[in-house]
């Protein structure tokens, strides 16, 4: 037998991998997870002090470099393709970013992109935007204030992802765009949700802080009153809640829809809805309420959006009060909604939660540095120009000498050195002189150069003073803000509705009230039948072997207590059930009320109030009984199910309602046909619902249980022989009683 060839150790090492080196979880998080976390926070989800996320900034800068600020529109697909040089995350993501910035989408108070074509709507989840190849865009006019200074060293430029071009770290926004453009982002471990404010108010607030850095929250609340949403609506204004947002950057803003009542068509036209919801969410909520019968005043509702703008129409039943209906809908639907504020902003690549006041202060710091850099850039350029003009002034004093030098110099390369030597100027100045056109050597040109030199000196001096004086820098920024407000400021779209001005209208009871007949069967079927329906047919249809256990008349607004064989009680309203006919089986309560498996109703009663001196009487199969005050079943709130409605120690054989001042006779019959009759007032009252009660009927060996309890004494005739005045009592045989009665009747005949 041949020996197996052994595998060399070196080959085994290739087949069996070396065991992995254990790595602490903290090290894994630090090395592998934290870089991802920081990338999402810093480079994707959280806006910076210019009010833009990186995706917004890359898109807008690409459009700026394409000459779309003031130029003609171009296809969106063209912009998307060009943006991929800066943002390599895919064309779909870039186009979605663009859509939200457009005028057509209506997401912003001041759109940054002027659009043509279908871009969907912010207030609708169903209205989709067209493909990029069909739509056209260019930068909106307000972008001049966002890019102003970008070509004058206002901000730093860095390499793009592959180092082929430059892009700005931030855009030098000349107004606090961070508070004007709404922004939402979800990072890792944090999120940002910034609402929009009115541009004119924000500019005034920033000017107030520029003039007096110690301006307090109260003063700013007077200037920047509240957020201003693109969709309009009514802001339910609470100054203390607004103060919290201004101070901490956290809080909620309640927004109500704005509506009008069309008296001619008896309809409500909703013209503005909260920014945080959509028309589809509102329609779904209203549809659910109408379907469940909770709102019966609405006959029809529809999306009536057209070329004139947003409209949601609710057609009403005759006699409906529109204000009362809207008051209910505000509570039950997103027609009133809240915008959750969470002002997380990146400051120097560090996420910080700031209030409105602190955001304005940070923006002022940022803008001050931008303006300072612009001033330095302008001053350097003017100094360079002055340097050239000063050389020109020297040459113009003896222009013929300059012409002679240029004319008699044999080599072109010698012109600049000879001019430098002749007029004692440097190479830059000499090169500038050598390139002046011959036609410019006239008196007018010379005088203009002299005047330009005076102007340049004055401008350089002014720029130098501005750079040295912080107050002048602030005044310059304030002046720019004033111009922006004048040019782009618009009235508020979201009006204020003060909390104390809201009239708390009583809710209109929309449930109609009318008499009905209620039927409950042993199998658990329930019917609510109108008397009009009963006139046509009052014969009750029942399931085979089923029988009726409760029948009584009530009103549609009545409340019911339904007791079951599992010692539970359900609180329901008659109006919760649909009208039915006697010829139908009705509602199966086990399914309708969500009862436990095999649970069945055994007693039903109308109970609209829980007065003193009224009780429920429970009779159990073990011969015991108890009276429980009806007040024990009154609960706080709207609990629909109550456990432990009565004792579960023995099956219940009868439930009765008693008014203490009007006690009734009770007949108990055992399974061996023995009976007793007594007054309900003889049963003691127990305050605990689950009390097992006291013995009412002594059960002998033959009497294993009480089989029935009833208030109908007709089946025993004269109750005299069965009546008991002291409990517990032993039952009297029904057969003995009947034999005695027969003998008496025979004696009478004899």
**pLDDT beyond 50 at 541:** yes
In this prediction, residues 599-628 reach a mean pLDDT of: 91
The residue-averaged pLDDT of 448-458 equals 87
Inform me whether the pLDDT recorded for 242 exceeds 60: yes
| Contact in structure between 667 and 677 (CB atoms under 8 Å) | yes
Does 367 have pLDDT greater than 50?
Answer: yes
Q: List Cβ neighbours of 644 (8 Å cut-off, separation of 6 or more).
A: 567, 568, 689, 690
Q: What is the pLDDT of residue 438?
A: 75
pTM for this prediction: 0.69
Which pLDDT score, from 0 to 100, does residue 446 have? 73
Given 3.10.25.10, 1.10.268.10, 3.40.50.300, 1.10.287.3510, which CATH number is that of 375-487? Answer: 1.10.268.10
Higher pLDDT, 665 or 514: 665
pLDDT > 90: what percent of the chain? 53
Query: Residue 308 — pLDDT band, cuts 50, 70, 90?
Result: confident
- Whole-number average pLDDT of the chain: 88
d(CA 380, CA 371): 14
Using the predicted structure, report yes or no on whether residue 353 has a pLDDT greater than 90: yes
Specify the domain boundaries for CATH 3.90.199.10 within the chain. Answer: 46-173
- Residues forming beta bridges with residue 659, ordered by sequence position: 614, 662
pLDDT at 650 over 60: yes
The reported pLDDT for the residue numbered 240 is 92
Interval 317-341 mean pLDDT = 91
Residue 588: CB atoms within 10 Å? 15
Task: For residues 400-421, give the mean pLDDT.
Answer: 86
Q: Which CATH number fits domain 258-334: 3.30.1360.40, 1.20.140.10, 1.10.357.10, 3.90.1640.30?
A: 3.30.1360.40
* pLDDT band at 198; cut points 50, 70, 90: very high
Average pLDDT, integer, range 274-298: 90
pLDDT score for 283 = 95
Location of each CATH 2.120.10.90 domain in the chain: 515-749
Q: Show the tokens assigned to 675.
A: 């009976």
Give the per-residue pLDDT at 17: 62
13 — pLDDT class (breaks 50, 70, 90)? low
Q: What is the mean pLDDT of residues 571-576?
A: 87
Q: How far is CA 424 from the centre of its chain?
A: 74
**Could you identify the residue written with the tokens 């113009």?**
396
Question: pLDDT at residue 518 above 60?
Answer: yes
- H/E element, 600: none
Residue 508: the pLDDT is 47
Predicted pLDDT of residue 407: 84
In tens, the pLDDT along 262-284 reads 999 999 999 999 999 999 999 99
Amino acid 365: pLDDT? 96
DSSP annotation string for 528-571: EEEHHHHHH--PPP--TT--EEEEEEEETT-EEEEEETTSEEEE
- What is the model's pLDDT at position 403? 84
Judge whether 134 counts as a catalytic residue: yes
**Range from 432-446, 591-605, 638-652 carrying the lowest mean pLDDT:** 432-446
User: Which pLDDT score is estimated for 9?
Assistant: 52
| pLDDT band, residue 258 (cuts 50/70/90) | very high
Q: Which residues contact 587 (CB under 8 A, 6 or more apart)?
A: 525, 526, 527, 577, 578, 580
Sequence-separated contacts (24+) of 377-384 with Cβ below 8 Å: 377/152, 377/153, 377/154, 378/152, 378/463, 379/460, 379/463, 379/464, 379/467, 382/456, 382/459, 382/460, 382/463, 383/460
The continuous run of DSSP H or E covering 55 comes out as: helix 54-65
Q: Where are the CATH 3.30.1360.40 domain residues in the chain? A: 258-334
Indicate whether 223 pLDDT > 90: yes
- Residue-level pLDDT at 10: 54
Q: How far apart are CA 217 and CA 204, in angstroms?
A: 14
Percent of the chain past pLDDT 70, that is, above it, reads: 93
The per-residue pLDDT for 742 is: 43
Whether 21 shows a pLDDT value over 80: the answer reads no
What's the pLDDT at 292? 78
Task: Kindly indicate the confidence band of residue 340, based on its pLDDT and cuts at 50, 70 and 90.
Answer: very high
User: What is the per-residue burial (b if ≥16 Cβ within 10 Å, else e) of 727-738?
Assistant: bbbebbebeebe
- Flag whether pLDDT at 311 surpasses 80: yes
Q: Region 470-499: what's the mean pLDDT?
A: 95
Domain with residues 515-749, CATH architecture: 6 Propeller (2.120)
**Residue predicted with more confidence, 684 or 508:** 684
Residues in contact with 83: Cβ distance below 8 Å, sequence separation at least 6, in sequence order: 58, 59, 62, 94
**Least confident piece of the model among 335-339, 518-522, 647-651, 703-707:** 703-707
Predicted confidence (pLDDT) per residue in 462-483, tens digit:
999 999 999 999 999 999 999 9
- The residue-averaged pLDDT of 323-328 equals 90
- Choosing from 36, 95, 123, 134, the catalytic residue is 134
Sign of the torsion formed by the C-alpha atoms of 341, 346, 351 and 352: negative
Q: CB-based burial of residue 646 (10 Å sphere; 0-12 exposed, 13-18 middle, 19+ buried)?
A: buried
At residue 122, does pLDDT exceed 80?
Answer: yes
- Phi then psi for 399, rounded to 5 degrees? -65, -30
**86 vs 713 pLDDT, higher one:** 86
Describe the crossing of helices 415-423 and 356-396 by its angle, rounded to 10 degrees. 90
Most confident among 45-59, 514-528, 697-711 (mean pLDDT): 45-59
Q: What pLDDT, on the 0 to 100 scale, is given for residue 642?
A: 86
CATH architecture, domain 46-173: Alpha-Beta Complex (3.90)
Banded pLDDT at 736 (limits 50, 70, 90): low
Least confident of 155-159, 269-273, 730-734: 730-734
Structure-model confidence comparison of residues 557 and 311, the more confident one:
311
- Beta carbons of 54 and 349 less than 8 angstroms apart: no
Residue spans in the chain of domains classed CATH 1.10.268.10: 375-487
């Amino acid at each position: 037998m041949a020996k197996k060839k052994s595998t060399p150790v070196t080959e085994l090492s290739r087949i069996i991998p070396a065991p992995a080196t254990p790595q602490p979880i903290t090290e894994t998080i630090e090395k592998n997870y934290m870089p991802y976390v920081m990338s999402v926070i810093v480079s994707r989800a959280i806006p910076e002090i210019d009010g833009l996320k990186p995706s917004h900034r890359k898109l807008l800068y690409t459009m700026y470099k394409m000459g779309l600020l003031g130029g003609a529109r171009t296809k969106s697909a063209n912009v998307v393709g060009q943006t991929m040089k800066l943002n390599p995350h895919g064309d779909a993501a870039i186009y979605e970013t663009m859509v939200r910035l457009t005028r057509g989408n209506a997401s912003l108070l001041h759109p940054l992109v002027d659009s043509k074509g279908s871009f969907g709507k912010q207030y609708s989840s169903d209205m989709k935007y067209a493909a990029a190849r069909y739509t056209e865009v260019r930068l909106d006019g307000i972008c001049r204030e966002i890019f102003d200074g970008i070509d004058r060293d206002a901000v730093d430029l860095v390499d793009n992802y592959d180092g082929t071009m430059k892009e700005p770290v931030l855009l030098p926004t000349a107004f606090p765009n961070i508070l004007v453009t709404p922004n939402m982002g979800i990072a890792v471990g944090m999120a940002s949700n910034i609402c929009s404010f009115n541009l004119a108010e924000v500019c005034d607030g920033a000017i107030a802080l520029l003039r007096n850095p110690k301006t307090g929250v109260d003063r700013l609340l007077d200037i920047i009153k509240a957020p201003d949403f693109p969709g309009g609506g009514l802001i339910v204004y609470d100054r203390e809640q607004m103060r919290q947002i201004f101070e901490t950057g956290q809080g909620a803003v309640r927004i109500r829809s704005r509506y009008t009542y069309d008296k001619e068509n008896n309809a409500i036209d909703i013209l503005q809805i909260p920014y945080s919801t959509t028309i589809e969410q509102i329609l779904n909520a209203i549809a659910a309420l109408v379907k469940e019968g909770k709102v019966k005043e609405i006959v029809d509702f529809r999306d009536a959006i057209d070329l004139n703008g947003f409209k949601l129409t609710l057609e009403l039943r005759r006699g409906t009060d529109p204000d009362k209906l809207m008051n209910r809908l505000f509570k039950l639907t997103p027609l009133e909604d809240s915008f959750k504020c969470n002002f997380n902003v990146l400051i120097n690549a560090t996420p910080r939660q700031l209030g409105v006041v602190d955001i304005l202060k940070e923006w002022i710091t940022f803008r001050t540095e931008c303006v300072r850099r612009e001033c330095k850039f302008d001053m350097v350029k003017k100094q360079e120009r002055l340097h050239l003009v000063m050389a020109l002034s020297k040459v113009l004093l003896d222009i013929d000498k300059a012409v002679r030098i240029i004319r008699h110099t044999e080599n072109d390369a010698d012109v600049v050195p000879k001019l430098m030597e002749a007029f004692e100027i440097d190479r830059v100045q000499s090169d500038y002189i050598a390139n002046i056109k011959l036609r410019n050597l006239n008196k007018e040109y010379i005088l203009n150069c002299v005047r330009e030199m005076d102007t340049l000196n004055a401008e350089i001096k002014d720029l130098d003073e501005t750079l040295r004086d912080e107050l002048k820098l602030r005044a310059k920024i304030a002046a720019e803000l004033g111009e922006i407000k004048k040019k782009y400021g618009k009235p508020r779209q979201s009006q204020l509705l003060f909390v104390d001005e809201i009239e708390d209208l009583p809710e209109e009871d929309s449930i109609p009230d009318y008499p009905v007949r209620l039927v409950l069967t042993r199998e658990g079927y329930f019917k609510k039948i109108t008397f009009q329906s009963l006139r046509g047919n009052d014969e009750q249809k029942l399931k085979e072997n089923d029988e009726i256990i409760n029948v009584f008349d009530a009103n549609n607004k009545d409340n019911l207590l339904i007791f079951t064989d599992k010692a539970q009680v359900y609180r329901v309203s008659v109006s919760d059930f649909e009208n039915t006919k006697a010829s139908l089986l009705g509602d199966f309560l086990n399914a309708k009320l969500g009862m436990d498996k095999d649970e069945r109703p055994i007693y039903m009663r109308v109970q609209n109030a829980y007065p003193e001196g009224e009780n429920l009487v429970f009779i159990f199969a073990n011969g015991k009984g108890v009276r429980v005050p009806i007040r024990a079943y009154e609960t706080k709130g709207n609990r629909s199910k109550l456990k432990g409605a009565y004792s579960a120690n023995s099956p219940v054989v009868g439930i009765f309602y008693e008014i203490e001042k009007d006690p009734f006779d009770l007949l108990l019959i055992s399974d061996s046909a023995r009976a007793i009759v007594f007054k309900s007032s003889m049963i003691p009252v127990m305050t605990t619902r689950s009390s097992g009660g006291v013995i009412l009927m002594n059960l002998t060996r033959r009497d294993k249980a009480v089989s029935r309890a009833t208030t109908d004494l007709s089946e025993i005739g004269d109750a005299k022989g069965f009546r008991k005045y002291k409990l517990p009592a032993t039952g009297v045989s029904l057969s003995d009683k009947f034999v005695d009665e027969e003998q008496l009747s025979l004696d009478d005949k004899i």
